[in-house]
């Protein structure tokens, strides 16, 4: 009887020990899972709110015409142009007229040109913008003597009353862009002078065109 009781007590102790180990293992596994889950969670990204007032002020400044646009508006009207070209050893001359307008609430200048060039009817159109954000002039040019678009950017110098713009135009002979420079000078209230330069085959800058504009 004592032997049987001793055996029963031993079995009970073994059972309790095993049960405790099982619980400990379960707790450890559960804790590990929770720890793993916590470690893999991504931190929540918090977006900074946009300053709507600052954005509104920036756009208002960007869209509002200023002094450069007033200068552009002073050229509104009709102009007679005397053009000189240097395409070879001898210069060529031509005449044209221009009708300049401001569009979109005085934000942009558009010039429509017409005349005769090399015995052909000539049409051209220019656009001029002053970008308030970048503080620079942007000029574009298209005409019926080609199918490309010229784009130039530059700044105005109050001391010389001239705007110098740099950009590229396509060379039809190579199909590649060539560097060009334009100097647009306010001679007086009724006179403007535009000079165009480009980089020649020898890498040197040469003058290719000059237009003297007089108010009609």
Tens of pLDDT along 100-118? 999 999 999 999 999 998 8
So what's the pLDDT on residue 145?
A: 94
Residue length, the chain? 216
The encoded tokens of residue 136 equal 């620079």
CA 48 to chain centre: 26
Exposure string over 17-53, b if 16+ CB within 10 A, otherwise e: eeeeeeeeeeeeeeeeeeeeeeeeeeeeeeeeeeeee
- 108-117 and 150-157 strand pairing: unpaired
Measure Cα distances from 134 to 37, 61, 101, 114, 130 in Å.
51, 12, 23, 32, 9
Question: Regarding predicted confidence, which is higher, 20 or 65?
Answer: 65
Instruction: Name the 3-class secondary structure at 80.
Output: strand
- Per residue, what are the HEC states of 157-189? ECCCCEEEEEEEEEECCCCEEEEEEEEEEEEEC
Digit-coded pLDDT (tens) for 18-64: 444 444 444 444 444 444 445 556 667 666 666 889 999 999 999 99
Measure Cα distances from 30 to 18, 22, 56, 79, 87 in Å.
18, 12, 54, 88, 87
Mean per-residue pLDDT, 180-192: 98
Residue listed under structure tokens 């190579």: 174
Is the Cα dihedral 103, 106, 107, 108 positive or negative? positive
Report the C-alpha gap between 141 and 14 in whole angstroms: 97
What does pTM read for this prediction? 0.75
């Amino acid at each position: 009887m004592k032997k049987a009781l001793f055996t029963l007590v031993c079995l009970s102790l073994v059972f309790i020990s095993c049960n405790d180990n099982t619980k400990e293992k379960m707790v450890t596994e559960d804790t590990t899972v929770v720890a793993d889950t916590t470690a893999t969670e991504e931190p929540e990204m918090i977006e900074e709110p946009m300053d709507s007032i600052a954005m509104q002020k920036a756009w208002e400044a960007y869209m509002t015409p200023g002094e450069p646009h007033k200068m552009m508006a002073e050229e509104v009207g009709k102009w007679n142009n005397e053009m000189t070209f240097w395409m070879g050893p001898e210069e060529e001359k031509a005449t044209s007229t221009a009708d300049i307008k401001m569009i979109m609430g005085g934000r942009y200048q558009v010039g429509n040109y017409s005349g005769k060039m090399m015995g052909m009817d000539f049409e051209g159109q220019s656009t001029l913008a002053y970008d308030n954000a970048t503080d620079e002039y942007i000029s574009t040019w298209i005409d019926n003597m080609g199918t490309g678009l010229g784009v130039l950017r530059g700044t105005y110098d109050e001391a010389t009353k001239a705007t110098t713009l740099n950009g590229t135009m396509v060379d039809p002979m190579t199909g590649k862009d060539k560097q060009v420079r334009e100097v647009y000078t306010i001679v007086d209230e009724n006179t403007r002078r535009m000079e165009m330069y480009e980089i020649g085959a020898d890498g040197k800058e040469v003058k290719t065109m000059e237009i003297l504009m007089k108010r009609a």
